[in-house]
Structure 1
Amino acid sequence: MSEDAPNSATLSGAMGIAHRFRSFLPVVVDVETGGLNHQTDALLQIAAVIVRMDDAGRLYRAETHSCHVKPFEGANIDPKSLEINGIRPDHPLRIAYGEQDALGRVFKPIRQEVRDTGCTRAILVGHNATFDLNFLNAAVDRAGIRRNPFHPFGSFDTATLAGLAFGQTVLAKALRTAGMGWNGEEAHSAVYDAEKTADLFCEIVNRWDMHIGVPGRE
């Protein structure tokens, strides 16, 4: 191993993750929406899962931060989307926040984690990540948030990674192929989907590092 390329497994967990991903902090995001168009359709729920590294260099799922979101003014909501995600935007017991407040609540611990790990920015991890990133960026723009902790276009897509690692691109099938659990009754909750996506991402990276090697190691 060269002196200027430390093995991430020998670094502390916090600083090791910054070395492993070129100063980017992987944060797994899942959104539930009122449709497929990020410009016109409502963002209804967002969940973000912090990924950390232990002292052995292995990734693991840490805490989850989530919010229900009030549809922005004029937002489209397709009833078919609500049938899938089970969200009732007008339910009296649904505690939801405007986009600016909701994103602020989710972004605050992410910004702190970025600082604590010595990273420069968060990078979104998602299953079919472009969908989540597009909705996130559209909400950031509408809310006028200037300090978005996420890279504006970079991402890790677990559908692509799972296709490479397990020959499966559907989240449920990839998890089962990897020997991990999946509960279809809990699916299409942003929290559940984000946490299972985080488990899948960590499993793929950990297997790669174990069998192929950590980038930077000689």
Structure 2
Amino acid sequence: MSEPREDTAPPSAAAALMARRFRGYLPVAIDVETGGFHPATDALLEIAAVFIDMDSDGSLKRGATHNFHVQPFEGGRLDPTSLSITGIDPFHPLRPALPERDALQRVFREIRHALRAYGCRRAILVGHNAAFDLSFLNAAVARAQVKRNPFHPFSCFDTATLAGAALGQTVLAKAVTVAGLEWDPGSAHNARYDAQRSAELFCLVCNRLRDSHQAAEERARELGWFSVAGPAAEEPGADEPPLEAEFPPHR
């Protein structure tokens, strides 16, 4: 299920700020619900993507949500313990599940639209214990042979780490609660709900760091690392550059 796409693009000031804020990457909160803990063998059952929007003053806020039920891939493992936690019945006749490839392509289509709107080169995954979500996303992309994955293949923003540093809590429910945000225990372990709370937590922490980010950005500009226009503007046409160019090996 997708929320309606807004026909209007973000204000030009907001688009320029977003492209510069994360060096040309667009943060997108992702949550997956699965049939277990092993991305190569366990089924992907739900996926939700929540956009991070920006106001003209540079404040981040939660944007549109796009979420889908997913059919277990053939041979995909379904651990009863995991299903008891999520409450998902993968084969319920009223469950509007899509094939894995179809669900991924629908999510990615919306993300590419947002990338163009904000002038960003690539998406970067935001998630609570983000390595888990990214591993399942990458496994599903490979399994379904989806060719145009808009996400950075290995980098991510982990809200468990951010919340631990900023709020002293790493459990999503506790971090959201101490941050003063809404938390409904009955809605947890639902991809849509968890992704929305992760997005709100990410926005809250980033907004509290605006002063330090602005100081660091000014220092980076003094060092000549990027122009006033920002890093995204320095590489026109670099919508999806080759991976080896965009992600050089670590030294």
Q: In the TM superposition, what is the alpha-carbon distance from 1:56 to its structure 2 partner?
A: 0.8
Equivalent residue number for residue 34 of structure 2: 33
Q: In the TM superposition, what is the alpha-carbon distance from 1:212 to its structure 2 partner?
A: 2.6
Is 1:216 equivalent to 2:206 in the alignment? no
SS at match of 2:156: strand
Is 1:174 equivalent to 2:175 in the alignment? yes
Q: In the TM superposition, what is the alpha-carbon distance from 1:165 to its structure 2 partner?
A: 0.2
Structure 1: unaligned runs, 5 residues or longer: 1-10
Aligned pairs for 1:129-208 (under 5 A) are 129-208=130-209
SS at match of 1:13: helix
* Structure 1 stretches of 4+ moved >3 Å: none
Equivalent residue number for residue 3 of structure 1: none
Mapped partners of 2:22, 2:105: distance in 1: 25
Q: In the TM superposition, what is the alpha-carbon distance from 1:129 to its structure 2 partner?
A: 0.2
Do 1:31 and 1:190's aligned partners in 2 also have CA atoms closer than 8 Å? yes
1:86-129, Cα deviation, whole Å (9 max, x unpaired): 11111111011111101011110101111111110000000000
Mapped partners of 1:180, 1:143: distance in 2: 36
Residue 165 of structure 2 aligns to which amino acid in structure 1?
L
Equivalent residue number for residue 239 of structure 2: none
SS at match of 1:181: coil
Aligned pairs for 1:71-110 (under 5 A) are 71-110=72-111
Equivalent residue number for residue 64 of structure 1: 65
Q: In the TM superposition, what is the alpha-carbon distance from 1:177 to its structure 2 partner?
A: 1.2
Structure 2: unaligned runs, 5 residues or longer: 1-11, 220-251
Q: In the TM superposition, what is the alpha-carbon distance from 1:217 to its structure 2 partner?
A: 3.3
Q: In the TM superposition, what is the alpha-carbon distance from 1:82 to its structure 2 partner?
A: 0.8
Mapped partners of 1:183, 1:104: distance in 2: 30
Please give the root-mean-square deviation of Cα atoms over the aligned residues, in Å. 1.3
Mapped partners of 2:58, 2:126: distance in 1: 19
SS at match of 1:116: helix
Count of residues in correspondence between the two structures: 208
SS at match of 2:109: helix
Do 1:33 and 1:45's aligned partners in 2 also have CA atoms closer than 8 Å? yes
Q: In the TM superposition, what is the alpha-carbon distance from 1:15 to its structure 2 partner?
A: 2.1
SS at match of 1:147: coil
Equivalent residue number for residue 45 of structure 1: 46
SS at match of 2:202: helix
SS at match of 2:209: helix
SS at match of 2:78: coil
Do 1:165 and 1:204's aligned partners in 2 also have CA atoms closer than 8 Å? yes
Q: In the TM superposition, what is the alpha-carbon distance from 1:195 to its structure 2 partner?
A: 0.1
1:170-204, Cα deviation, whole Å (9 max, x unpaired): 00111111111110000000000000000000000
Equivalent residue number for residue 249 of structure 2: none
% identity of equivalent residues = 58
Residue 88 of structure 1 aligns to which amino acid in structure 2?
D
Mapped partners of 1:35, 1:130: distance in 2: 14
Equivalent residue number for residue 119 of structure 1: 120
Q: In the TM superposition, what is the alpha-carbon distance from 1:16 to its structure 2 partner?
A: 1.0
Q: In the TM superposition, what is the alpha-carbon distance from 1:213 to its structure 2 partner?
A: 3.9
